[in-house]
A = this chain, B = another copy of it.
Amino acid sequence: MLFMVRMDVELPFEMPANVAADVIAREKAYAQDLQRQGIWKGLWRIVGEYANFSLFEVQDNNQLQDILQNLPLYPYMKCQVTPLATHPSAV
C-alpha cells in the first residue's frame, strides 16, 4: 500500500550546530536503511526547499505512523501524508 509524504524540515535557530549535524546524520542512516528494505521506495529533494517528496510502501497506517515518528528529524518537520491507489491508466 502506497503513500506519498511531503516532508518540510525547519531546524530551530537556537539548535547548536553539532546537535543539528548529529540528528541529520542519524536521519540519513535511518532513511537509507528503510530504502534498502524496500519500504521507502522513493526520495526526492524539492529544489530550493528543505523538503522532499517520499514514497512509502507499508502494510497499513500504523506501520507508516511508526516509521514517521521515529525519524530523527520528526520533531522538526511537517508531514503531509497522501494515500495513493492504483491509477486506472497506470500500465
Residues of A with Cβ closer than 8 Å to B?
A: 1-5, 12-15, 27-28, 31-32, 35-36, 42-49, 52-53, 55, 60-62, 64-65, 68, 78-91
> Which 10 residue pairs across A and B have the least CB separation, nearest first?
A48-B79, A65-B85, A44-B84, A48-B81, A47-B83, A31-B89, A45-B87, A45-B85, A12-B13, A28-B89
User: What 5 new A-B contacts, CB under 8 Å, besides A1-B60, A42-B42, A64-B85?
Assistant: A2-B44, A45-B65, A45-B86, A47-B61, A49-B79
Integer count of this chain's copies in the complex: 10
Name A87's contact: one of B4, B12, B52 (CB within 8 Å).
B52
Q: Are A62 and B87 within 8 A (Cβ)?
A: no
